[in-house]
Amino acid sequence: MKLSVQKNYEALSRECAKIIRELVASKPNCVLGLATGSTPVGTYEQLIHMYDAGDVDFSRVTAFNLDEYFPIKKSSDQSYYHFMRKNLFDRINIAQTFIPDGEAPDAAAECAAYEEKIAAHGGIDLQILGIGNNGHIGFNEPGDAFVAATNYTPLDESTIKANARFFADESEVPRYAVTMGIRTIFRAGKIILLASGAGKADAIFKALHGPITPQMPASVLQLHPDVTVIVDEDAAGLVK
Ligand code: GLP
């Protein structure tokens, strides 16, 4: 894994957006894998600035998001559907976007359909990932085994607590989600893992240098041939 330590969150966001812009320039019909959470918001802001300035054209780009709460209404302010529209999709000219459907009648069928849709688009060129404090990627939570394909999964107690900040009350956080699995993520040609702040330092250290274990899901990224970890100085606190 390559480690890129940036001075602060803004520099991290610029660096990630620059890599995305370069990919879109060299492959205008590329497939991006996108993430939610606070961390990529700065990257999305940079992409919107670049788009407004005429520096990038998303008119042939397809995006697949990593995960979605399940069940959740698209109209809910907390859905990742809403998050992506607000923070990126409604503000650029992206051709096609896909997010697991939190309103689907059957979670298992939605997982299988999502997996097929990614394959039908020829797979993901570049996958952006955040990391949970507990090391989760997407909603692949710590557990006894890695799950390969897109799957319906209960959320970890620590994730429910961490994500409660987006909801009126912790009791409103959905208890389940649909997430790309580890094999789904690994099929991406290139992966960028983003982390900002001292709260992520321990997870970043373990992802880069810890044993490869499903108890720390991001550690499995050590096995992918093209991963760049872009962190700010605080998140790099334990690796330097
Ligand atoms: C969420 C998402 C993850 C994200 C993580 C970290 O639960 N499912 O994809 O990476 O939490 O979020 P944040 O960037 O807000 O710390």
pLDDT in tens, the chain (240 residues): 999 999 999 999 999 999 999 999 999 999 999 999 999 999 999 999 999 999 999 999 999 999 999 999 999 999 999 999 999 999 999 999 999 999 999 999 999 999 999 999 999 999 999 999 999 999 999 999 999 999 999 999 999 999 999 999 999 999 999 999 999 999 999 999 999 999 999 999 999 999 999 999 999 999 999 999 999 999 999 997
Report the residue among 16, 39, 230 best suited for mutation to probe ligand 1: largest number of ligand atoms under 8 A from its CB. Answer: 39
Atom 9, ligand 1: residue with shortest CA distance: 138
Ligand 1 atom with minimal separation from the 38 CA: 15
**Residue 46 in tokens:** 């940079």
44 Cβ below 6 A of ligand 1: no
- For the full predicted model, state whether its pTM sits above 0.95: yes
**Residue 176 in tokens:** 């389940």
**Helix runs in 53-126, H state only:** 80-87, 107-120
Ligand 1 atom with minimal separation from the 179 CA: 8
Q: How far is CA 171 from the centre of its chain?
A: 24
Cα 121 to ligand 1 centre (Å):
25
Burial of 77 (0-12, 13-18, 19+ CB in 10 A): exposed
pLDDT at 180: 98
Residue 127 phi, psi (nearest 5): -105, 125
Ligand 1 atom with minimal separation from the 138 CA: 9
